[in-house]
């Protein structure tokens, strides 16, 4: 009985610390995302590059993996001419040790005014100096397809021709 009570007490103590760790990690990641958006809007690719770990990799859609801060900064510099990042919204964080997996959504626009939206997943790593993007991948949401669950509209059956009345029998 004592062991069961002690185990329950230990578990109750661990749950709040896990919740606190997730809340703390989420706040830290959201602060980093604000810096990222500000740097992107200022077209400061060098500042964005420094937000990544030295051995970071990005996995952009339709493009080979880009490795290292310098190459990542070059990638973002070229991308900033074609796209303006507007928001990063953290939806989930999953901390474990010095890593946090973040799942979120982004919005942005092109110079000709077309808007875009998508999702991303980032693995952040804390190296003693702060949180750095370690692995970063994203995609756009594309053009939504029409709902496939809607039943097709019924097709009206052609109206039946009125039945002909039987001709009266000839009189005798």
Residue 46, in any domain of the structure: yes
Range of the domain at 48: 16-140
**Confidence at residue 144, expressed as pLDDT on a 0 to 100 scale:** 61
- Number of domains the chain contains: 1
User: pTM of this prediction?
Assistant: 0.73
pLDDT digits (tens, 9 = 90+) for 63-97: 999 999 999 999 999 999 999 999 999 999 999 99
Segment among 9-23, 71-85, 96-110 with least mean pLDDT: 9-23
Report whether 82 contacts 108 (CB < 8 A). Answer: no
**What CATH number does the domain containing 136 carry?**
3.10.450.50
Pairing of strands 115-126, 131-140: antiparallel
pLDDT digits (tens, 9 = 90+) for 113-154: 999 999 999 999 999 899 999 999 999 998 665 554 444 444
- From 60, 34, 55, 35, select the one nearest 47 (Cα to Cα): 35
């Amino acid at each position: 009985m004592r062991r069961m009570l002690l185990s329950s007490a230990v578990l109750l103590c661990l749950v709040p610390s896990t919740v606190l760790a997730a809340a703390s990690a989420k706040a830290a990641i959201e602060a980093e995302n604000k810096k990222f958006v500000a740097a992107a809007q200022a077209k400061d690719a060098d500042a964005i590059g420094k937000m990544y770990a030295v051995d970071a990799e990005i996995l952009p859609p339709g493009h080979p993996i880009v490795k290292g801060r310098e190459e990542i900064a070059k990638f973002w510099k070229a991308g900033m001419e074609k796209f303006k990042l507007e928001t990063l919204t953290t939806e989930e964080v999953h901390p474990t040790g010095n890593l946090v997996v973040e799942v979120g959504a982004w919005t942005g626009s092109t110079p000709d005014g077309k808007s875009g939206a998508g999702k991303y997943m980032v693995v952040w790593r804390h190296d003693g100096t702060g949180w750095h993007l370690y692995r970063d991948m994203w995609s756009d949401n594309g053009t939504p397809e029409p709902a496939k669950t809607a039943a097709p509209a019924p097709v009206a059956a052609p109206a039946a021709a009125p039945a002909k009345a039987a001709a009266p029998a000839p009189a005798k």
